[in-house]
Amino acid sequence: MKDTSRVFFALWPDEEVRAAIESLARDCVVRIGGRAPDAANLHLTMAFIGEVPADRVPVLREIGKCVSALLSPFTLTLDRIGAFRKQEIAWVGTARANPPIQELADHLSARLSSAGFELDRRPFHPHVTLARRARTRELDAQLGDWATPIVWNVTALTLAASKHTQGALRYVTVDSWPLGEGR
């Protein structure tokens, strides 16, 4: 058994939101090429931690439990398509700032840093990947140009791990916490 896991905190869409993102990802691939992620893997990364020894996972669980209790459920509107051009990644995200998701990211970052976890220093940019290896040079559109904005009622925070099974990358839930529990 492996004594480390590649882990991250994320928001996992419900079935309705997942289906809408999956449909948008398929449309994106038709328009600009690339490869859409497996629908079961669709998520919004809140904090990528990376390889973590098994004995540190309980610390991450405690951080997830504490941070999720600080915020109530909130609505996130995915209404902008964009790209990370160098990485050839197309994504769907928000056209405007969303204070609750930023607050969640800030709380996670602070708690993870205090616990000694090294984090990416780039600013938090909430997004869901639509396609990898896509022709992204011209892509930067409002979602309304392609489809109806996706309204996501965010109700939980998830700690997930990357697992390779049967030649495919899968993300599995390590633990999940409802937002605002105990408030």
| Residues 30-79 pLDDT 10s | 888 899 999 999 999 999 999 999 999 999 999 999 999 999 999 999 99
Q: Could you read off the pLDDT of 92-146 as tens digits, one per residue?
A: 999 889 999 999 999 999 999 999 998 888 889 999 999 999 887 766 555 556 6
Mind listing the domains of the chain with CATH numbers? 4-178 (3.90.1140.10)
pTM of the prediction? 0.91
Res 1: pLDDT: 42
Res 76: pLDDT: 96
CA–CA dist 78, 82 (Å, integer):
11
Res 83: pLDDT: 85
Q: What would the mean pLDDT of 23-31 be, rounded to a whole number?
A: 90
CA dihedral sign, ordered 59, 99, 24, 148: positive
CA–CA dist 96, 71 (Å, integer):
20
DSSP state for residue 35 in the 8-state scheme: B
Alpha helices in the chain (DSSP H): 15-32, 57-70, 99-114
Angstrom distances, CA of residue 24 to CA of 30, 31, 47, 73, 180: 10, 10, 24, 24, 30
Is residue 179 within 8 Å of residue 154, measured between CB atoms? yes
